[in-house]
């Protein structure tokens, strides 16, 4: 897995209400949720971001409620992956269940600036800041099973694929 995109930087303790405000939770339509992704954290985000961009966050990203709407909104908005110092436990699992690639790096947040382009190479386990002379930053490895979830598009797609394989 390899991702290349422009960085959108957010701080510590970005909760699920900042990712997708509760006032929009009357729907589970991913396209509708995407229109309001990160709206309370950065009102210009959804209008200015481009498909493939990357969210870079501080500690405890995705804290708050256990709603699955948060990773759905991020993925549907076109964010290729999220890199954070750390993730809230329930968001971490929900992200993989929804097929949103996420990576932990304690160092990248202080090195990369908003707007810079980074390359996340999960196969090698490093992130490179494009145009920088800095050495690549290591990322924590994703367990193989969770990589399969991402490659399948999420848990439900993964299970459907496995069921189909078993019955052929």
Q: Give the tens place of pLDDT for each residue, 74-90.
A: 999 999 999 999 999 99
Residue matched to tokens 């959804």: 46
Distance CA 137, CA 101 (A): 17
The pLDDT tens digits for 129-151 are: 998 888 999 998 788 888 888 88
Q: Where are the beta strands (DSSP E) in the chain?
A: 2-9, 54-57, 81-84, 102-104, 117-121, 126-129, 137-138
pLDDT digits (tens, 9 = 90+) for 51-110: 999 999 999 999 988 789 999 999 999 999 999 999 999 999 999 999 999 999 999 999
Query: How many structural domains are present in the chain?
Result: 1
Per the structure, the complete domain to which residue 161 belongs is given by: 2-166
pLDDT for the residue 162: 77
CATH of the domain at 24: 3.20.19.10
DSSP one-letter string for 73-93: HHHHHT--EEEES-B-HHHHH
């Amino acid at each position: 897995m390899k991702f290349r995109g422009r960085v959108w930087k957010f701080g510590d303790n970005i909760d699920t209400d900042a990712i997708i405000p509760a006032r929009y939770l009357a729907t589970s339509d991913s396209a509708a949720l995407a229109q309001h992704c990160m709206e309370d954290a950065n009102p210009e985000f959804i209008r200015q971001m481009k498909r493939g961009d990357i969210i870079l966050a501080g500690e405890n990203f995705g804290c708050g409620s256990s709603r699955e709407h948060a990773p759905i909104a991020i993925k549907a908005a076109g964010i290729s992956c999220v890199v954070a110092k750390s993730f809230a436990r329930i968001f971490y699992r929900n992200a993989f269940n929804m097929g949103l690639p996420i990576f932990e790096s304690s160092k990248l947040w202080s090195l990369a600036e908003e707007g810079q382009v980074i390359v996340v190479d999960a196969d090698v386990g490093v992130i490179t800041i494009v145009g920088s002379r800095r050495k690549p930053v290591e990322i924590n490895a994703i367990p193989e099973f969770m990589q399969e979830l991402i490659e399948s598009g999420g848990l439900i797609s993964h299970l459907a694929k496995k069921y189909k394989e078993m019955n052929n």
